[in-house]
């Protein structure tokens, strides 16, 4: 055998040796990560808040963490649903105009977070929208209410009628005023789930409650979670948001809607008019440090529109992705580098403010 052939054979053996060694190292690293993090994943889906609650929980206590989170979400649902006969919100509504009622601390937390958005959005979010949302009945029998009924009950929509004195009680000062926390409930459920994960000591987790998503803990090597934003015009995604911690909530006109007399009506109501908000938007996705906050802001920003939402988002150190009917996507500066379009060029992505 020539010296040239021998050299080639030796080089080939060295390459094979290093490839095998690299493979062994990668397997060892993978096993080390597994044993250090207890990185088995437990996945479960339950039903609360009128929607599916999907969990992916990692770590040694993953099943217990998921159980506690599902329990926490259901308990919160019982407390804040206006349909719950024994819940706090139902009790506040029943006592409207007459008396204060005692609150569970979890209910008060959600109410205060929601009221903060109501006040700072100038009523674009109004949690006393219940007299109007009941007329539309998007959950059970969606239909166009008579205009005179909308105008009558519109006078009962006033978030300032809710009193939270800070002593663990709450009251509505006006008869026929009622609270509907549907605009913040799913985000608040994510808050409750994250609290449960902390209590259980799981490694990390992702929880999705309807259009709200919360992440807990960091992925190996600090990699961010990838949260998909749904394409309102199709079944796929129009892009992803990279998230290392916090919450993302989406409010979209495609979630609940009906068509009557050749006109389509969606469930995102403008508290000023009593009718679905009409500002050329299909969806708004908000990233925030708190689940209830991200949920409430996504509704308020849908009502306000992109430009008018900027001061509100800045107030809460939040960011948003707005998807318009004309296939324009507007992204705020703070999330610009974390947003990745799907690359098909179907939407034009623009920075807000330009």
User: Would you state the pLDDT for residue 192?
Assistant: 98
Residues 6+ apart with CB under 8 A from 341: 238, 239, 329, 347, 349
- The pair of structure tokens assigned to 7 is 């050299």
Whole-model pTM: value is 0.88
* 339 has a pLDDT exceeding 80: yes
User: Would you state the pLDDT for residue 279?
Assistant: 93
18-63 confidence digits (pLDDT tens): 544 444 433 333 334 444 444 689 999 999 999 999 999 999 999 9
What whole-number distance in Å separates Cα of residue 201 and Cα of residue 64?
A: 9
What whole-number distance in Å separates Cα of residue 44 and Cα of residue 54?
A: 6
Q: 341 burial class (0-12, 13-18, 19+ CB within 10 angstroms)?
A: middle
275-289 confidence digits (pLDDT tens): 999 999 999 999 999
Q: Tokens 């397997």 sit at which residue?
A: 27
Q: Give 85 or 164, the one with higher predicted confidence.
A: 164
Share of the chain above pLDDT 90, in %: 82
pLDDT band at 312 (very low <50, low <70, confident <90, very high): very high
SS3 at position 179: coil
Comparing CA positions, the residue from 268, 238, 234 lying closest to residue 253 is: 268
142-182 confidence digits (pLDDT tens): 999 999 999 999 999 999 999 999 999 999 999 999 999 99
Read off the pLDDT of each residue in 266-275 and give the average, rounded to a whole number: 98
β-pair type (328-332, 348-352): parallel
């Amino acid at each position: 055998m020539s010296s040239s052939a021998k050299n080639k054979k030796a080089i080939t053996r060295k390459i094979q040796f290093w490839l095998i060694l690299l493979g062994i190292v990668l397997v060892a690293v993978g096993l080390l990560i597994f044993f250090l993090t207890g990185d088995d994943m437990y996945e479960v889906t339950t039903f609360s808040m009128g929607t599916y609650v999907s969990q992916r929980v990692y770590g040694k206590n993953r099943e217990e963490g998921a159980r506690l989170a599902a329990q926490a979400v259901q308990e919160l649902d019982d407390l804040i649903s206006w349909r719950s006969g024994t819940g706090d919100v139902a009790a506040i509504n029943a006592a409207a105009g007459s008396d204060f009622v005692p609150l569970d601390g979890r209910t008060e937390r959600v109410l205060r977070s929601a009221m903060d958005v109501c006040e700072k959005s100038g009523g674009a979010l109004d949690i006393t929208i219940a007299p109007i949302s009941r007329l539309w009945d998007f959950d059970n029998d969606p239909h166009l209410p008579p205009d005179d009924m909308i105008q009558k009950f519109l006078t009962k929509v006033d978030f300032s009628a809710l009193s939270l004195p800070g002593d663990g009680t709450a009251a509505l000062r006006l008869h026929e005023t009622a609270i509907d926390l549907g605009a913040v409930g799913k985000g608040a459920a994510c808050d409750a789930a994250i609290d449960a994960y902390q209590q259980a000591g799981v490694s990390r987790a992702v929880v999705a409650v309807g259009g709200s998503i919360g992440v807990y803990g960091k992925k190996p090597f600090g990699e961010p979670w990838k949260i998909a934003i749904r394409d309102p015009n199709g079944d796929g995604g129009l892009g992803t948001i990279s998230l290392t911690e916090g919450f993302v909530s989406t409010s979209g006109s495609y979630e609940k809607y009906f068509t009557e007399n050749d006109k389509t009506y969606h469930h995102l109501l403008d508290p000023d008019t009593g009718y679905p908000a009409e500002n050329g938007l299909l969806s708004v996705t908000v990233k925030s440090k708190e689940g209830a906050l991200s949920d409430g802001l996504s509704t308020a920003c849908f009502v306000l529109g992109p430009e008018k939402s900027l001061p509100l988002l800045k107030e809460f150190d939040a960011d948003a992705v707005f998807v318009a009917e004309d296939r324009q996507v507007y992204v705020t500066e703070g999330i610009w580098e974390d947003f990745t379009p799907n690359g098909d060029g179907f939407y034009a992505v623009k920075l807000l403010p330009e």
